[in-house]
Amino acid sequence: MKHTRSLSGLALVAAGALALSGCAGSEPTASTADEMITIGISQIVQHQALDDAREGFKQAFADAGYVEGTDIEFDEQNAQGEQATASTIAAKFAADKVDLVLAIATPTAQAAAQTIIDIPVLFTAVTEPEEAGLVESWEKPGSNISGTSDLNPVKEQLELIQEILPDTQSVGIIYSSGEVNSDVQVELAKEAAKDLGLTIKEATVTNSSEVAQATVSLGDVDAIYIPTDNRVTEGLEAVIQYSESNQIPLFGAENGQVERGAIATYGISYTDLGYQTGQMAIRILEDGENPGDMPVETLDTIEFILNPAAAERMGVTLTEELIAKADRIIE
């Protein structure tokens, strides 16, 4: 069963937490089809969620009648997790005078916002754009930037852990100390934990090579939860291996983590999120909309994703009732 959520409510909760710490479109219009459109895409690292967002974005253009290599081209760049590289990519797009920039994840969006001032910029897979300094507000971004947020239902995700593991008392969270999006989610988790009677234990990393060591440092916890953190997700296999070897159940914050080996989540489709961002881009390019006047958007549905095989490998028995509730089962 898909769950509908309040988008504005999630945004307000995220801001408050930090204070405490596809349908086809028409053919391209004549004004855009007469010459090649170039879109620069900057992605902080390669992992499934961000890859899905990128492909969803491009699919929106294909469904609107654009043909890659004929009337549109995508200059796709990957920063390999390096902020300095993200800044270099942003400077390249500015010098090339591309028609629009897509920044995938918070670090690349921050690099683009700091460097590009006269080209439309859209972001996706950014959790809290206002706190990250990308927009003046969710409703009125200002400047030349807007996009889509992947803010996820952290409290519901922790409640799901308790539903699957009723005796859970402690949850370990591994996240990047330098990612604003992760700070938001950890603060949300801490606030939710107070109401749920859970103890949160934190371990931080600065790059994906530290994920294995951070996981071990959590020590004796009842479950591990991974937020939508780019560096930890990049090194997720280390957490999965540890969880299986030590029979500590692992839960994710996004669908791709469950597909790779976490047990479950209430998550969003990053393909759909990227697609929605592509639709925003088309409105900018075809209709002349100003990104600064376009409210930040989120998806209004979440899915219950379940991986029974991962649960079995981590010593967790899933009830038939729970399996029947899942929107999608990972085989």
Question: Which domains can be identified in the chain, with CATH numbers?
Answer: 37-150+269-298 (3.40.50.2300), 154-267+302-329 (3.40.50.2300)
Q: What is the pLDDT of residue 29?
A: 39
Q: Which amino acid is at 262?
A: A
Sheet architecture: strand order including 72-78: 72-78, 37-43, 100-104, 121-126, 145-149
Which two structure tokens, joined as six digits, stand for 95? Answer: 């010098």
Q: What is the pLDDT of residue 248?
A: 98
- Kindly report, residue by residue over 33-80, the tens digit of the pLDDT: 458 999 999 999 998 999 999 999 999 999 999 999 999 999 999 999
Q: Which amino acid is at 8?
A: S
Distances (CA, A) of 305 to 223, 281, 325: 17, 29, 9
Q: What is the pLDDT of residue 34?
A: 57
Residue whose token pair is 């399996």: 323
- pTM check: above 0.75: yes
Distances (CA, A) of 113 to 18, 81, 136, 162, 163: 21, 17, 12, 39, 41
pLDDT beneath 50: ranges in the chain: 1, 4-33
The residues with which 78 forms a beta bridge, in sequence order, are 43
As a whole number of angstroms, the distance between CA 215 and CA 323 comes to 28
As a whole number of angstroms, the distance between CA 120 and CA 166 comes to 48
Q: Which amino acid is at 330?
A: I
As a whole number of angstroms, the distance between CA 192 and CA 126 comes to 21
As a whole number of angstroms, the distance between CA 84 and CA 8 comes to 33
Contact predicate 40/101, CB 8 Å: yes
As a whole number of angstroms, the distance between CA 286 and CA 284 comes to 6
The DSSP symbol for 210 reads G
Contact predicate 107/83, CB 8 Å: yes
Q: What is the pLDDT of residue 7?
A: 39
